[in-house]
Chain A
C-alpha cells in the first residue's frame, strides 16, 4: 500500500475537569504516517506535548482493536470519524489528506458528563443494564445447553443485537442524545431468546424508566444512530423495543 507522511491541524476540545468550562485548542501535527491509527497520531502529539511541558490530551481507549467500546471521539462532526462501521481506534490516517484540519470533540450529552478533555462518563449505561439488562439465572441452575433449541434466525438476530460494544456513538450522533439504540439492542439480545421471556416485560419497562432518569432524550427515529454504529446495529431493534414496551404497558396491572 502506497502511503506518505502528512501534516495536519488538529482542533481539539480541552477541558481540565468536569467543572471547567473548556474550549478548543489548535495543534499542528507534522510528518504523520498515513499508516498510523488515529489514536497513534494522538500518542505522537501527546509525546510532543509532554516534551513541551504541556498537559497531554486525555482520551479513553483500551483494546485498540474495535471491540472494547472505550474509544470515543467525535471527529469532524461524526462519531468515530469518517469511515463506516468503524471505531476511533480502527480509523487510520489514510482517511485524511495533507493540510487538512480535523476537529475532535468529546461525546456530547448531558447524560455523559465530561471527565477531562475527550473523556466522558458513560456509567449511565451500566445503570441501564442494572435496571434489567440480564437474565436472572444463578450459577449452577442451568439445564443442558442443547435442551432448548433456538430458531437460527432468532439466534442470529439476537447475536446481531448483542454485538453492541456500548461505546455510546449512538447517543453522540443522535440529535436528541437518546440512548434508544443501545437500550434496544441490549433488550433485543435477551428478548429474542426463549431464556429472556420470563422477564421480557419488566425488563423493557425498567430499562426505559432508567434511561429517562439518566437524562437521555426520546427517540425520534431519525436513524443517525444506526448510521454511526461501529457494529451496524439496526434501528429495527428500537421498533422491537417499542412493541415490547407497549405490550408490557397495556397488560400491566397498574
Chain B
C-alpha cells in the first residue's frame, strides 16, 4: 500500500492547512537551490515562471524550438474555474464534485478539491498577465458551458484558449529569463534522470541540434512532459509528444499509475488513409448545436443529403434522451464505435458518423428572422442560419473544409473518436512528488486529478494549477531540507554513469542497421494498441496484444533502421528513442487494462457492461489506483493506493 500523504482534516481545510504549515525556504537560500523543469507546456512554463519569481535557479528543457510550441497550445475549448460569475449556482464544491463524478470515481478527493479551490486564482492570474479571454459588452468575462455540466464555468478565448494560456505562461517564463532566474534549453530532450543517494539530482539531456549529451544538475527535477497518447500512433497529440522523460523516471523507480486510462475524444476528423500521420480534433463545443446520426439502414451508400429524415438514426438522442448529444466524451465515443461496428458507419472507410448542423442552421435562421421581424423565404432563412453558425464555429468549419475538402455548411461533418488525452501517468503524492524523492511530476504527465475520464476544459486547469499554485508550496517543503546540499558537480560518478548508459543505448540503436523504419514500427504498435487496448478491451485481446507487443519489441531492437549520424540533427534517431519507450509503455498499458476487470470512464472492458451496454464499475474490487513498479524486462509489480471517498458517494453514472 502506498501513501499519498493527503493532509488530515476536513476536505476543504486540507490545502489551507498544508499551505500554512509546510516548510519554507528563506530567500537567500532559494538563490542557491537549482531546479530542473522538463517540458514547457502549461504545467512546465507556469512552474518555471512561478519558481523563478520565488528566486530559485531554474533550468527549463523542451524538445521544440521554443517553449511556446508545447502541445498545450492546441487546446481549443476552454478552462474551467469555480468563479460563479454567472450566478448559476457554481461553487468550489460543485466543480470538485463534477470532476470526481466525471472521472468515474477513480480520482483522489484531496487533490481534486485542491484543484477546484485554486481554479479561481488561475483566472485572476491569467487575466493579470494579459490573457485575452472572451468578454461581454459590459467588459466582463464571458463563460460558456462545456462537457455537459449544468453550470457555465468555462472561460475561453475563441477557439484557442490553450494557445492564449500557454502564451501567458510562456511570457511569464521569458520574463524570468530576462531577469536571469531561468535559463532555457530548447531543442533538448531529456534522456535520463540522474540519481544520487536515492534522490533525483539532475538529468542527462541530448542537444537535438548537435547530438551532444549534456549533464545538468538540479536539487529537484520536475517532469511536465504531457501525455502519452502517441502510443496509439494516431492521436490528437502533436507529432513530438512522447512518454520518454516519464518512462526514464519509471525505469529509475518511479511508479506509473493507471496507464490504461485513456480518453478517446468523440469528435475528430476520421482517418482518410494509410498515410494519415495524426488526427485533428473538432471542439466538443460543436456538440452543443450539431446532431449526431447514422443511416437506419446498414451499409447505406447514399449521400448524406439524399437520406430522408425518417431514415436517420439520431442514436445519442435515442439512447440518452436526458443528455442527448451532450453526453460525456467516453459515452459518446463508445456509442459511435458501437454503430460503426454494427455496420452503420458512413464515408468511404465506414468508420465515421455524421455531425449535422442542418437543424441548427434552420433554428438559428428562424430566430434571426424573428429578431429582425421579417417574413423570410426558406433560402434567406438558411443563409441567415449559416451566418450565425459561421459566427460561432467559423474557424472549426474552415479547418474541417481544409482537411476534408467538404463544405460542412452544405453537408454534415463526418466524425469519429480519436485518442486525445491520457489520464494515467507517473504516480505522485499530494505534493506532486513521485516515488523518487526530489522528482516531481505535473500536468497531464501525472495521474492524479482526472480519475478514469477527464471532463472538458479541465486539462488546462490542472496544468496551471500544478504549476502556478501547487508546486511553489510543495517543493519548498522538500527543498527546505536541502539547503545544506551544495550544487553537485556534474563530473560526479552518477552523472558519468547515467550519461554512458544513454550513450550506449543510442549507439545500440544506431548499430542495429536493420530494414524497418521507425515510423512503420510505430504504426504497427499503434494498430495493436488501438484494436486491442482502445475504446473497448477484452481479456483475450489484451493477452494477445501483450504477446504481439513483446514480439514487436524484439523486432524493433533487432531490425530497426535509423539513417544519419549521432552527432547531428537526426529526427529519425529522436523518434526511435521515443518509440522504443512507447513499445514498453504499450505493454504496461495492456497489463493494467487486463488487471482492471471492470469498466470505468475511458476504460471499457467488454466483459463488464450492463445489459444496455453501459460501463459497469466494480467499486468493491477496483476502488484503487494501480501504481506499477518496473521489476525487469516485461515484469511489473502492482502497488495499490486505495481511494477513500469521505465526502462524495460513488454511484452509477446515468445520462439517460
A binds B: yes
A residues sitting closer than 8 Å to B (CB atoms) are: 1, 3, 16-17, 33-37, 39-40, 43-44, 47, 49-51, 53-56, 58, 60-70, 83, 85-86, 90-92, 94, 115-116, 119, 121-123, 125-126, 129-131, 133-146, 148-152, 155-156, 158-159, 162-163, 165-166, 189-190, 193, 195-196
Q: Contacts A50-B517, A136-B175: A126 and B399 contacting too (C-beta < 8 A)? A: no
Assess whether B239 is in contact with A159, with CB atoms less than 8 Å apart.
no
Q: With A92-B405, A130-B177 known to touch, is A142 a contact of B128 (CB < 8 Å)?
A: yes
Q: Which of B121, B402, B572 contacts A90 (CB 8 A)?
A: B402
Contact A56 B563 (CB under 8 A): yes
8 contacts between A and B (CB under 8 A): A35-B405, A47-B517, A126-B174, A137-B129, A146-B85, A146-B141, A159-B157, A195-B129
Residue contact A131 to B178, C-beta cutoff 8 Å? yes
Interface centre among A35, A63, A86, A90 (most CB of B within 10 A): A63
A62 touches B138 (CB 8 A): no
- From known contacts A1-B404, A122-B66, infer whether A138 and B53 are also in contact, taking CB-CB under 8 Å: yes
Q: Give chain B nearest CB distance to A92 CB in angstroms.
A: 6
- Cα A94 to Cα B403 with chains together (Å): 10
Nearest residue, chain A, Cβ from B173: A134
Which chain B residues have a beta carbon within 8 Å of chain A's beta carbons? 46, 49-50, 53, 64-71, 73-74, 83, 85, 121, 123-130, 132-141, 157-158, 160, 162-164, 167, 170-172, 174-175, 177-178, 184, 186, 209, 236, 238-240, 272-273, 275-278, 280-281, 398-399, 402-406, 468-469, 472, 517, 519-520, 561, 563-564, 568-569, 571-572
Whether B130 contacts A195 by the Cβ 8 Å rule is: yes
Task: Point out the residues of chain A lying under 8 angstroms from B517, CB to CB.
Answer: 47, 50-51
B140 pairs with A130, CB closer than 8 A: no
Cα A137 to Cα B571 with chains together (Å):
38
Which residues of chain A are near B569, meaning CB under 8 Å? Answer: 17, 58, 115-116, 119
Across the A-B interface, give the 6 residue pairs with the lowest CB-CB distance, nearest first. Answer: A149-B139, A134-B171, A142-B128, A142-B124, A1-B405, A159-B132
B405–A70 touching, CB < 8 Å = no
Among B130, B133, B167, B568, point to the contact of A116 (Cβ < 8 A).
Answer: B568
- A49–B519 Cα distance when bound, in Å, is 13
CB-based contact B123/A43 at 8 Å: no
Interface of A is mostly: loop
Given A3-B405, A56-B563, A135-B129, decide whether A142 and B175 contact each other with a Cβ distance below 8 A: no
Whole-angstrom distance from the CB of A60 to the nearest CB of chain B? 6
CA distance A64 to B468 in the complex (A): 28
Output the least CB separation between A103 and chain B (Å).
22
The answer on a CB contact under 8 Å between B174 and A134 is yes
Q: For the complex formed, measure the closest distance between the CB of A253 and the CB atoms of chain B, giving whole angstroms.
A: 22
CA distance A47 to B404 in the complex (A): 24
Give every chain B residue within 8 A of A138 (Cβ-Cβ): 53
Chain B residues contacting A146 (CB-CB under 8 Å) are 83, 85, 140-141
Kindly provide the distance from the CB of A166 to the nearest chain B CB, expressed in whole angstroms.
6
CA–CA, A43 to B519, complex, Å? 9
Tell me the bound Cα distance from A86 to B403 in angstroms: 11
Q: Which listed residue, B139, B238, B572, touches A50 by the CB 8 Å rule?
A: B572
Chain A residues with CB below 8 A from B53, complex form: 138-139
- Chain B residues within 8 Å of A36, by CB: 272-273, 275
Known: A146-B141, A149-B140. A126 touches B184 (CB 8 A): yes
Cα distance, A66 to B273, chains bound together (Å): 20
Which residues of B are found within 8 Å of A143, using beta-carbon distances?
A: 124, 128
Interface centre among B46, B69, B124, B564 (most CB of A within 10 A): B69
User: When chains A and B are docked, how far (Å) is the Cα of A149 from the Cα of B133?
Assistant: 12
CA distance A95 to B16 in the complex (A): 58
Partner of A60, one of B65, B172, B404: B65
Closest to A126 in B: B66
Across the two chains, which residue of chain B brings its CB closest to A85?
Answer: B398
Q: In the complex the two chains form, what is the Cα distance from A91 to B171 in whole Å? A: 29
Contacts of A33 in B (CB 8 A): 272-273, 275
A64–B172 Cα distance when bound, in Å, is: 26
A63 touches B160 (CB 8 A): no
Whether the Cβ atoms of A152 and B68 lie closer than 8 Å is no
Given the contacts A139-B468, A143-B124, A165-B163, A190 and B275 also touching, CB distance less than 8 Å: no
Alpha-carbon distance between A140 and B172 when the two chains are bound, in angstroms: 13
- Contact residues in B for A140 (Cβ distance below 8 Å): 121, 125, 469
Tell me the complex Cα distance, A85–B395, Å.
11
* Closest residue of B by beta carbon distance from A150: B139
Are B238 and A62 in contact (CB-based, < 8 A)? Answer: yes
